[in-house]
Structure 1
Amino acid sequence: MNIVRQRTGTDSAYKQNLYGSGIGIAVLDSGIYPHPDFMNHGSRITAFRDFVNHRQTPYDDNGHGTHIAGIIAGSGYLSEGKYMGMAPRAHLIILKILDSKGNGTAETVCRAIEWTVRNRSRFHIHILNISIGAKAGEETTESRMLMDAAEYAWDRGLTVVAAAGNNGPASGSVTSPGTSKKIITVGAAHEITVPEHPSSSCLFSGRGPTRTCICKPEILAPGFRICSCGHLPAHPYVIRSGTSMASPVVSGGIALILNKYPDLTNKEVKRCLLKSARPLNYPKSYQGWGFFHIPECLDGRCGSH
């Protein structure tokens, strides 16, 4: 995460004392392990809802969700800051929708999103991170349900960030709900220093366009070998790769932006991200508008309506 923060320029936010304070981020995933990086100086897990096993206290029997939450808002307490997340003072609203094997249903996701929208004011939820998706290809009932649910949240003011999926490099391989034209879809980038030679390590990142010829993903963020919070005491930090890891980089970064400009709408946030993205020498079907970079989002452009 230290490298991720360097590449995305988060120091520009921290120098302005922007750490995501007061910004609630809902995470739809496999749950969360009460890792010290979320619990030091008081728990920042402000809500936990289990739509799978209906347990009351936070847990993660898979590990994926804890890793995602660490990228967004881990404090880096056990690593002396090395593996700190993007917005270490943001608070987390955890919706467990995946089981121990990482499987879930569209119906469960829809119920969790409906709960999130209903409780957004209560928990000050601004951002919804969805690092799961239905397989790309022909439109199915499941993919349509996921897209409709994500757009339902977007239309009610939440900034929805979704992973592009790991079915690349074929064209049209972005997963639902990332195919929605409204929400922010994130692909995975590994190496940005030599853009003319895309790393084979991120060939998995889903490519556009969508079936309706929408350019997706909109933006890239680091997603290869990301070290973040583990879900077992014996493994405080683990390394994972995927667009699942790229989308929380953007979700956490948006929390920093909203920390400075709390009145931005989701459409204004998206517009700011696209304007400030750094184009790389990749096809638009892979990179969208370019690489996620925070400093330009904090220089006044996001604040002008």
Structure 2
Amino acid sequence: MTVNSIAQFAPRAHTAATRPQQEAAPGPALPQEKYDVVAQSVSLVTPMELTDMAFKLPSPASRIDAVKEVLTVQDAWDMGITGKGVGVAVIDTGVYPHPDLGDRLVAFKDYVNGRDGVDNAYDDNGHGSHCAGLVGGDGSKADGRFKGPAFEASIIGVKVLDGVGGGQMSNVVKGIQWAIKHKDDYNIRVMSLSLGAGSNLKEDDDIVAQAIQAALDADIVPVVAAGNSGPAKFTIGTPGISSAALTVGAYDDKNTADHGDDTMAFFSSRGPTTRDKNVKPDIAAPGVQMVSFRSPGSSIDHADVTKLGAYYVLLSGTSMATPVTAGVVALVRQANPELSARQVMDILKETADPMADTKAILAGHGLVDPAAAVRKALSLKEQKPAA
């Protein structure tokens, strides 16, 4: 399968590094024949003309707390909804046991090197850890800043990509199947997949899209990155092509809380899907210059990316927008555990904040709105007739 995304360290994965990206990318390249799926980030070798479209920061410390200041998540927290008790499977490059997770990394499965178990948890790339923090970091090493939406959720790390961010479709399918099998062990109600590859197949013929459908059928909400192959249309990768996926595009907040200057990120993949012509993405979330976990000794940690102290790094991509959305899904699932996965997905779409003058093939239903989604979930709980 041909990969259509941009790699973190070669022209192929999908997390966007947040430095002037014209420098040569460090680390090993991803040989085309070795990998058929990659992490969804924008690479260090993004063309200059695209790099110039991203906002620049005077210093890393000047980055706003985008999850809290751009989204309505504080209102959800004020309702007592923090993701507590909900399990989120981060299917990615692994998860480093960052201090901001405390004891909430509750399981770790490794399909790359076989180092299973929380005591062996690691991330030799750094991408999966960054995503885990955007789901549920508690900001303890940043004086409470840079929390994920679901900062009391449980994190389940499933490593299916290697140290340079590439992997095999078969391992991604295994990772999804493992999460389904163990959903009751860890109350896995959400999975976050910031990975993908190009697909010329109909979703019914795509093995990863089929696995995503199985997850939804098992009452797990699959949140999937759209990819970073924009601004062209028909660039949604698999498994984001799946109609069973909540496919996420990256929103550019321009480092302000004011939505008036916001746009979709230039790199965010556009729909519709190539073969089925489905409108994708479904929703958007902040995905540019996002602050989250730094994984010591990882490939990203050694790369020329913007770091914020000893514990955080700034990255961009639909990879970052996806776990933010997965964290919001965890809030909704805590707010009303009786809702099905399909109902939860519908709520996020229905309550999203539409983006003016932005086509659905760019932003789907609009910017995710945590407070509105939680309120809707709670209202449905209140309307349920007594037994």
Report deviation, 1:3: 2.1
Structure-1 residue corresponding to 2:268: 205
Paired residue for 1:14, among 77, 81, 93? 77
Q: Give distance in 1, aligned partners of 2:374 and 2:246.
A: 19
Q: Specify the SS of the correspondent of 1:101.
A: coil
Structure-2 residue corresponding to 1:144: 206
Paired residue for 1:66, among 102, 126, 129? 129
**In the alignment, residue 293 of structure 1 is paired with which amino acid?**
D
Q: Give distance in 1, aligned partners of 2:101 and 2:143.
A: 14
Report deviation, 1:198: 3.3
TM-score, normalising length from structure 2? Answer: 0.74
Structure-2 residue corresponding to 1:287: 363
Paired residue for 1:256, among 328, 331, 336? 331
Q: Which runs of 5+ in 2 are unaligned?
A: 1-63, 298-308
Instruction: Return structure 1 stretches of 4+ with deviation > 4 angstroms.
Output: none
Q: Specify the SS of the correspondent of 1:17.
A: coil
Confirm or deny: 8 A CA contact 2:99 2:140 kept in the other structure.
yes
Structure-2 residue corresponding to 1:267: 342
Structure-2 residue corresponding to 1:188: 250
Confirm or deny: 8 A CA contact 1:72 1:86 kept in the other structure.
yes
Paired residue for 2:314, among 224, 227, 239? 239
The percentage of counterpart residues that share the same residue type is: 35
Report deviation, 1:212: 1.1
Q: Give distance in 1, aligned partners of 2:310 and 2:202.
A: 38
The aligned runs of 1:45-124 (5 Å cut-off) are 45-56=105-116, 57-124=120-187
Write out per-residue CA displacement over residues 216-245 of structure 1, whole angstroms, 9 at most, x where no aligned residue: 001010000000011018741000000000
Q: Give distance in 1, aligned partners of 2:108 and 2:179.
A: 11
Q: Give distance in 2, aligned partners of 1:28 and 1:126.
A: 13
Report deviation, 1:203: 1.0
Q: Give distance in 1, aligned partners of 2:379 and 2:330.
A: 14
Q: Specify the SS of the correspondent of 2:184.
A: coil
Q: Specify the SS of the correspondent of 2:241.
A: coil
**In the alignment, residue 361 of structure 2 is paired with which amino acid?**
S
Paired residue for 1:217, among 281, 287, 299? 281
Report deviation, 1:274: 1.1
**In the alignment, residue 244 of structure 1 is paired with which amino acid?**
S
Q: Give distance in 2, aligned partners of 1:203 and 1:91.
A: 32
- Structure 2 residue 361 is the aligned partner of structure 1 residue 297: no
Structure 1 pair 166/302, CA: closer, same or farther in 2 (3 Å)?
farther
Q: Give distance in 1, aligned partners of 2:72 and 2:220.
A: 24
Confirm or deny: 8 A CA contact 2:96 2:129 kept in the other structure.
yes
- Structure 2 residue 222 is the aligned partner of structure 1 residue 157: no
TM-score, normalising length from structure 1? Answer: 0.93
Q: Give distance in 2, aligned partners of 1:220 and 1:65.
A: 20
**In the alignment, residue 73 of structure 1 is paired with which amino acid?**
G
Confirm or deny: 8 A CA contact 1:161 1:250 kept in the other structure.
yes
- Structure 2 residue 80 is the aligned partner of structure 1 residue 5: no
Write out per-residue CA displacement over residues 225-266 of structure 1, whole angstroms, 9 at most, x where no aligned residue: 000011018741000000000011110011111111111111
Q: Give distance in 2, aligned partners of 1:295 and 1:18.
A: 10
Q: Specify the SS of the correspondent of 2:68.
A: helix
**In the alignment, residue 187 of structure 1 is paired with which amino acid?**
G
RMSD over equivalenced CA pairs, Å: 1.9
Structure-2 residue corresponding to 1:227: 291
Write out per-residue CA displacement over residues 256-286 of structure 1, whole angstroms, 9 at most, x where no aligned residue: 1111111111111111111111111212110
Deviates more, 1:82-91 or 1:229-238: 229-238
Report deviation, 1:6: 2.1
Confirm or deny: 8 A CA contact 1:264 1:303 kept in the other structure.
no
Report deviation, 1:299: 2.3
Q: Give distance in 2, aligned partners of 1:37 and 1:203.
A: 31
Report deviation, 1:303: 4.1
**In the alignment, residue 347 of structure 2 is paired with which amino acid?**
C
**In the alignment, residue 214 of structure 1 is paired with which amino acid?**
N
Confirm or deny: 8 A CA contact 2:347 2:376 kept in the other structure.
no
Q: Give distance in 2, aligned partners of 1:245 and 1:299.
A: 25
**In the alignment, residue 91 of structure 2 is paired with which amino acid?**
L
Q: Give distance in 1, aligned partners of 2:69 and 2:378.
A: 21
Q: Give distance in 2, aligned partners of 1:265 and 1:299.
A: 16
Report deviation, 1:30: 0.6
